[in-house]
């Protein structure tokens, strides 16, 4: 059933954690439950000497919660047996398991443990998901993610759901505008698509007359797009982990970027803001020709034409984040004006910068809920180095913070003025404006998933950069 593991457990914990016998693969073993961290099994007949303080035991199999995605499927109360399905990570398939317990008490204890892994209630009501599928995003695998993984698990769990398949860029807005949030049964929304589909949903919610009711609801996301920035920053890097996050239902509060355009129109995003060369690269990357790999192809072309790429005129000022003001000089109430009237590229993000193409975070010192943005400014005098940064970012070559020519600041607000109407992008969606103001939206969004913990190296990097 799995490889052996060695763990140290006290005899008292072993005895207290006993649940009963398990029949699996025609071999009977004994089931133990250890604390909140895993479920594991020991060979039948394993003797526990309570006079011994601590045991180092060979465990036949050990399931962590994220991989042991369980759903109560069938209960036989008379025989104290519990059958359920779980998501096997080794072969990415849904498998069956049956636990046979010796007493009713042991059965109830095991049932409580397994049932706690999934969330079937939201604010005292049975969960009901509104699932939005974009069938043409990314590699066009969204329908497969739903049919082959999420749907079978939802059907087993008893969580109700309705499915909406997008047919165009205005579909989500139209769908949301027709929902009466006081009457709709939906407790959660799930997007199976890319960052652009989530962007459409967020802005449709903000335009809704009952938006305060919507923002109380959690949003789940599957990595069905090209970059999948939000999914990857939440640990939902494949359809199985995303299913686990959706079924478990745990959420984090994430910051949203609010952008005000020159016509006072406000737009909202969770991926990031772009201007200059990187915005042009994203918009002109050839979606139809290259699909999911379009950013890689565009980055390669740009690298070989670096000396002919243009710079972009701009008037840029930014307000340093309140916790970093002490490290800045020549400031007026925290505001700093960029000394040059042109840049090569600019990015503002409020997350680590993980995406499908990136193997490690670009910004390991910031998370989705830290109430600040990180501003990248790419200096045009070192254009080739900036392109090297972008190219390596696309290819996923590790952390890219030390390439020369890159200015990096923690900020609360950003103001931009352009000589002529210019193209900007928020979450990959293009807009044309003569000015724009950026800040974090006062409303946070509840996203299903979790953020990555800081490492000692991350903390040192934060200190070195004064962030």
Task: For residue 86, list its beta bridge partners.
Answer: 70, 95
Rounded to 5 degrees, φ, ψ at 329 are -115, 165
Q: Which of 34-38, 243-247, 251-255, 295-299 shows the lowest per-residue confidence on average (mean pLDDT)?
A: 34-38
Contact at 8 Å (CB) between 131 and 159?
Answer: no
Q: Please state the rounded mean pLDDT for residues 329-335.
A: 64
Structural tokens at position 364: 């390991």
For residue 451, name the pLDDT band (cuts at 50, 70, 90): confident
Q: If pLDDT is split at 50, 70 and 90, which confidence band does 62 have?
A: very low
What's the mean pLDDT in 435-445? 95
**Strongest mean pLDDT among 117-131, 368-382, 390-404, 439-453:** 439-453
Given a contact cutoff of 8 angstroms between Cβ atoms, the answer to whether 384 and 399 are in contact is no
Q: Which tens digits make up the pLDDT trace of 69-96? A: 444 344 555 566 666 655 555 555 556 6
Q: Which domains can be identified in the chain, with CATH numbers? A: 5-116 (2.30.29.30), 123-249 (3.40.50.10330), 257-443+455-465 (2.60.200.40)
Residue % of the chain over a pLDDT of 70:
58
The DSSP result for 47-111, as a single string, is ---TTSSEEEEEESEEEETTT-EEEEEEEETTTTEEEEEEEETTTTEEEEEEEE-SSHHHHHHHH
Average pLDDT over residues 441-447: 94
294-304 and 383-395 helices cross at what angle (nearest 10)? 160
CA atoms of 88 and 151, how far apart (whole Å): 16
- Per-residue pLDDT band for 368 (boundaries 50, 70, 90) equals confident
Write out pLDDT tens, residues 168-217: 989 999 999 999 988 889 999 999 999 999 999 999 999 999 988 899 99
- pLDDT per residue as tens digits for the range 247-268: 888 899 999 999 999 999 999 9
pTM: 0.73
pLDDT band at 33 (very low <50, low <70, confident <90, very high): very low
pLDDT of residue 143: 94
pLDDT(166) > 90:
yes
Closest CA to 222 of 142, 149, 166: 142
Write down the pLDDT at residue 392. 63
Contact predicate 32/57, CB 8 Å: no
Q: In this predicted model, what pLDDT tens digit does every residue of 377-435 receive, in sequence order?
A: 887 776 666 666 666 665 555 455 555 557 888 999 999 999 999 999 999 889 999 99
Are 352 and 232 in contact, with CB atoms under 8 Å apart? no
pLDDT in tens, 39-61: 444 444 445 455 544 444 443 33
Q: Which secondary structure element, helix H or strand E, spans residue 298, and what is its range?
A: helix 294-304
Which among 134, 141, 225 has a CA at the least distance from the CA of 172? Answer: 134
* Distance of alpha carbon 458 from alpha carbon 401, whole angstroms: 12
Half-sphere exposure of residue 425: CA atoms within 13 angstroms, side-chain side? 22
CA atoms within 13 A on the CB side of 139: 9
Angle at 199 between CA 195 and CA 203, to 5 degrees: 170
């Amino acid at each position: 059933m799995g490889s052996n593991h060695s763990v140290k457990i006290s005899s008292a914990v072993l005895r207290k954690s006993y649940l009963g016998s398990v029949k699996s693969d025609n071999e009977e073993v004994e089931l133990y439950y250890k604390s909140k961290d895993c479920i594991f099994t020991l060979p039948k007949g394993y003797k526990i000497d309570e006079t011994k303080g601590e045991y180092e035991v060979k465990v036949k199999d050990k399931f962590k919660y994220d991989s042991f995605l369980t759903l109560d499927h069938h209960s036989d109360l008379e025989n104290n047996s519990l059958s359920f399905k779980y998501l096997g990570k080794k072969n990415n398939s849904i498998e069956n398991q049956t636990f046979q317990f010796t007493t009713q008490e042991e059965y109830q204890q095991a049932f409580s443990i397994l049932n706690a892994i999934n969330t079937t209630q939201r604010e005292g009501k049975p969960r009901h998901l509104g699932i939005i599928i974009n069938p043409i995003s990314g590699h066009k695998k969204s329908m497969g993610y739903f049919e082959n993984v999420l749907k079978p698990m939802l059907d087993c769990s008893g969580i109700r759901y309705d499915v909406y398949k997008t047919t165009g860029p205005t579909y989500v807005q139209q769908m949301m505008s027709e929902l009466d949030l006081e009457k709709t049964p939906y407790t959660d929304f799930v997007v199976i698509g890319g960052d652009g589909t989530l962007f459409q949903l967020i802005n449709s919610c903000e335009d809704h007359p009952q938006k305060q009711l919507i923002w109380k609801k959690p949003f789940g996301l599957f990595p069905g797009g090209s970059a999948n920035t939000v999914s990857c920053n939440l640990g939902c890097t494949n359809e199985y982990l995303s299913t686990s996050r959706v079924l478990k239902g745990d959420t984090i509060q994430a910051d949203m970027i609010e952008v005000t355009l020159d016509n006072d129109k406000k737009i909202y995003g969770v991926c990031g803001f772009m201007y200059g060369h990187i915005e042009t690269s994203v918009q002109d990357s050839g979606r139809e020709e290259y699909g999911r790999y379009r950013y890689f192809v565009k980055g390669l072309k740009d690298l070989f034409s670096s000396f002919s790429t243009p710079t972009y005129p701009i008037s840029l000022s930014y307000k340093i984040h309140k916790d970093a003001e002490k490290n800045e000089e020549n400031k007026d109430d925290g505001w700093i004006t960029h000394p040059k009237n042109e840049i090569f590229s600019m990015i503002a993000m409020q997350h680590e910068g993980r995406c499908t193409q990136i193997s490690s975070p670009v910004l390991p010192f910031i998370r989705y809920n830290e109430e600040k943005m990180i501003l990248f400014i790419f200096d045009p005098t070192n254009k080739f180095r900036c392109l090297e940064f972008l190219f390596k970012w696309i290819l996923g070559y590790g952390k890219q913070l030390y390439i020369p020519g890159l200015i990096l600041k923690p900020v609360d607000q950003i103001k931009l003025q352009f000589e002529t109407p210019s193209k900007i992008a928020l979450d990959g969606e293009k807009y044309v404006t003569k000015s724009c103001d950026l800040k974090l939206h006062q409303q946070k969004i509840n996203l299903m998933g979790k953020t990555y913990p800081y490492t000692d190296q991350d903390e040192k990097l934060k200190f070195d950069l004064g962030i």
